[in-house]
Amino acid sequence: MFWRKFLSKLSGGKVNILAYVLEIFLIIFSILIAIQADRYQQSKRNQHKLEDYIQAMYIDLLDEQESNRNNLFDCQQDIKSIRAGIRLSQINQKDSIQLALYNLAQVATRAVFRAFPPTTFDIMMSTGDIALIKDLELRGQLASTFSFRDNYVKRDLLEFDNETKKAIATLSKYVNLSCMYTTRNLTECLTDQEGFTQYFHNELFAISRAADLREFHLKRAITYFKFAIENIEEVYSLKREDVIKETEKKTSE
């Protein structure tokens, strides 16, 4: 062995017990140095990985916040249209029915069928890399924020879409839906005006409740994402403009 030959030369070819002890010490010392060097390299790799994760997660937060705000605007427009539809559909007059059908058509065409792909946080959780975030408060905040996104924002949208489809299916009992896409005078599409004015508004209360709940949770989501964005900016000293430019640069390369 290298150390034994080295010590043998130092002692003139005679290796005593002290030399053996020293050899063992030097071997252990070499192993410790190698371990520390490996840990240092792994730490550097983890740091670079964390920086990439944080930038990607920050972009996720910004994108989600923009989606939340756009969806909230659409949701509030839906609420106005649904309430107008409920009120006007009960008035058995051509003008009122025309406006009621117009508002309902707006809801049907405005429906947002949005996808919810896995986020960077989801990827970090599945790989165990979430442990790279040492700030436990931030880690918990991100977990609750993205959990709210999946368990409430996503669920509400699916529920609203389902109720919209049910309302459209029920509307077909009283109105020729194909006709509604080809004429401006929507009252011409009525197949059962009496039934429409007497019964259809009852079918709109379920979609109205779904829209109200969706609005409430979207407002909460916007607040949660706002705090998460501010916290991650503070912890990792992020500047929105710099991160966006860096992300665009990486995408173009």
Taking 70 as the threshold, does the pLDDT of residue 15 lie above it?
no
Mean pLDDT score of the chain: 87
The band of 201, judged by pLDDT with boundaries at 50, 70 and 90, is very high
- pLDDT for residue 180: 87
What confidence score (pLDDT) does residue 237 get? Answer: 92
Q: Per residue in 42-85, pLDDT tens?
A: 778 878 899 999 999 999 999 999 999 999 999 999 999 999 99
Domain ranges of the chain: 1-43, 64-252
In the chain the first and final C-alpha atoms are separated, in Å, by 50
pTM of the model: 0.81
- Return d(Cα 99, Cα 120) in angstroms, integer: 45
Question: In angstroms, rounded to a whole number, what is the distance separating the alpha carbons of residues 79 and 106?
Answer: 11
Q: If you write DSSP's letter for every residue of 78-132 in order, what string do you get? A: HHHHHHHHHHHTTS-SHHHHHHHHHHHHHHHHH------PPPHHHHHHHHTGGGG
pLDDT score for 6: 52
Cα 239 from chain centroid?
21
What are the phi and psi torsion angles at 133 (to 5°)? -80, 105
pLDDT at 87 exceeding the cut of 80: yes
Q: Return all residues near 37 (Cβ < 8 A) that are at least 6 apart.
A: none
Q: CA-to-CA distance for 124 and 146, rounded, in angstroms?
A: 12
Residues facing residue 190 across a β-bridge:
175
With tokens 């109105």, the residue in question is 175
Instruction: State the pLDDT at residue 21.
Output: 66
Q: What is the pLDDT of residues 96-145, one digit of tens each?
A: 999 999 999 999 887 655 678 899 999 999 999 999 999 999 999 999 99
State the CB neighbour count (10 A cutoff) for residue 213: 16
Two tokens, residue 251: 């995408």
Please report the pLDDT score of residue 41 as a whole number: 78
Confidence grade of residue 33 (pLDDT, cut at 50, 70, 90): confident
Interval 221-246: pLDDT, tens? 999 999 999 999 999 999 888 888 88
3-state secondary structure of 31: helix
Residue 81 amino acid letter: S
Contact call for residues 120 and 60 (beta carbons, < 8 A):
yes
Q: Phi first, then psi: what are they for 181, rounded to 5°?
A: -85, -5
